[in-house]
Amino acid sequence: MTTNPYPPGFVWGVSTSAYQIEGAAAEGGRGPSVWDIRCRTQGGVVGGDTGDVACDHYHRWEEDVALMKGLGVDAYRFSVAWPRVLPRGRGAVNETGLDFYDRLIDRLLDSGIEPWLCLYHWDLPQALHDLGGWSSRDCAGWYADYAALCAKRYGDRVKRWITFNEFSVFTLFGYAIPWAAPGIVDRAQHLRAIHHVNLAHGDGVAVLRALVPDASIGAIHNRQIVIPETDTAENRAAAALLDEHWNLVFCDPQILGHYPPQTADHIEPYVQAGDMARIAQATDWFGLNHYGPIFAKADPSRVWGYGWGDAPPDSPTHGVGWAIFPDAFREELLTIQRRYRLPIVVTENGCGGSDVVEADGAVNDPHRINYLTIYNAAMRDAMAQGADVRGYFLWSLLDNFEWGSGYGQRFGLIHVDFATLKRTPKASSRWYADLMAQARAATSHP
């Protein structure tokens, strides 16, 4: 009996995002985003690192597409930088920025790699933040106009569209726990941001449907089981509220049409007649980013009374300290299947570390291969138990700017020397190429 669980057409890919790889922050007419400002705010990013140069993908994109072709991926998930195409977020369009993605998309297609275009990976134009950003209801309309610009420009060639990446990370860490741009700590602004981002998602789906009739549209949710650090009533209450903010306040309204219970009460002042229908537009698949579980604890010093706890002391962890817990991945896939009843695409999964180029030029990353092996096995178990998973995108193609951790945390299949920008495939890139080849062979010969 075959053990191959992959359905025909299963998509294997890699993911990146604009601010993490492009660099050229002040080139080609790009305007500043909230992350450019965050990097310049003291303490915003470890070591004072910035995305000014990053992987210099803006200039080295041809090499990067060639690397992907060599790897043998079916698809590439990338994001468009809103401030590169609309430097002030709305109004004047920057043709140079639009051209950059035209060239990238064309080269991907010529290379047999399907572009999966994500409209928003956290880089809100600073000019819009100055007008209120996601705290302002108007931001949904600004986003819809930006989505329309991209749909009209790229919709003839791009058929896979993603409205947002990880809604809860940039809203929670941007507006309640100050670990990301814009670094605000305020309950009301957090609630407003949640609701306005949901409206933007709904409007974005409607715009994409109207302008790209054959589009396949998804949204990317980071879902991670929230476990109380220790089993006390306070920690259980903390975990329950964090679970709403992290796992439910976007998926539930977008797919089920309502907010989860505690948030429904809190958010009511910001919800207007017709909003819930505007948010709950049908999508074609559920994008899941998953790395490991979260451990929560009561923390009265934080704005919502919860904070991040520690994994049990004996837990295996990534090089970057995240718990390795493949059962949570399997269960998450099954939970999503039961609760939301959409095909699932794993849009991010991967392993961080501090990989180095050795004397012989090799980059050996057995920790990553080990992590990916057990997480892929967990995904296959979930599929065997009924999870309808249609694709897997590994985070990430390249080592890159890892947000508040700067360049210290490397997630790439390809090592980047940030002094010379030289790319060196790691051992894990060979492992991934082999995995994809074996899966394809098994799929075509069941």
Active site (catalytic) residues: 166, 348
Q: Which of the residues 203 through 222 are near ligand FCB (CB under 6 A)?
A: 222
Please give the size of the binding site for ligand FCB, defined by CB under 6 A. 12
Sign of dihedral through CA atoms 249, 250, 255, 258? positive
Shortest distance in whole angstroms from residue 374 CB to ligand FCB:
18
Judged by CB under 6 A, does residue 143 bind ligand FCB? Answer: no
- One-letter amino acid identity for 147? A
Rounded-to-integer distance, Cα 7 and Cα 383, Å = 10
Site for ligand FCB contains 22 (CB under 6 A): no
Distance CA 159, CA 380 (A): 27
The pair of structure tokens assigned to 1 is 């009996």
Residue 387's Cβ-side half-sphere holds a number of Cα atoms within 13 Å equal to 23
Contacts of 182 (CB under 8 A, 6+ apart): 34, 37, 38, 124, 129, 133, 174, 175
Question: What is the C-alpha separation between 109 and 212, in angstroms, rounded?
Answer: 18
- Binding track over 217-256 against ligand FCB, x by CB under 6 A: -----x----------------------------------
User: Which is closer to ligand FCB, CB of 6 or CB of 170?
Assistant: 170
Residue 396 preceded by cis peptide, ω within 30 = yes
Q: Report d(CA 432, CA 444) in Å as an integer.
A: 18
Q: How far is the CB of 325 from ligand FCB (least distance, A)?
A: 16
In the range 276-295, which residues lie near ligand FCB by CB under 6 A? 289
Whichever of 162 and 363 has its CB closer to ligand FCB, that residue is 162
For residue 2, the minimal CB distance to ligand FCB (Å) is: 33
Tell how far CA 63 is from the center of its chain: 23
Within 10 angstroms of residue 174's Cβ, the number of other Cβ atoms is 28
Q: Binding to ligand FCB by residue 169, rule CB under 6 A? A: yes
Q: By C-beta, is 5 or 292 nearer to ligand FCB?
A: 292
Work out how close the CB of 224 gets to ligand FCB at its nearest, in angstroms, rounded to a whole number.
Answer: 10
Least CB distance to ligand FCB at residue 322 (A)? 9
Transcribe 303-357 into DSSP letters. TTSEEE-PPPTT--B-TTSPBP-HHHHHHHHHHHHHHH-S-EEEEE----B----
What's the rounded Cα separation, in Å, for the pair 100 and 150? 12
Q: Does 17 bind ligand FCB (CB under 6 A)?
A: yes
The residue at minimum Cβ distance from ligand FCB is 166
Q: Is 395 in the site for ligand FCB (CB under 6 A)?
A: yes
Does 116 participate in binding ligand FCB (rule CB under 6 A)?
no
Host H or E run for residue 12 = strand 11-15
Task: Specify the stretch interacting with ligand FCB by CB under 6 A; choose among 86-94, 156-164, 260-268, 395-403.
Answer: 395-403
Of 96-104, 165-173, 231-239, 431-439, which part binds ligand FCB (CB under 6 A)? 165-173
**Min dist. Cβ of residue 91 to ligand FCB (A):** 28
Q: Does 411 bind ligand FCB (CB under 6 A)?
A: yes
Q: What is the binding site for ligand FCB (CB under 6 A)?
A: 17, 20, 165-166, 169, 222, 289, 348, 395, 402-403, 411
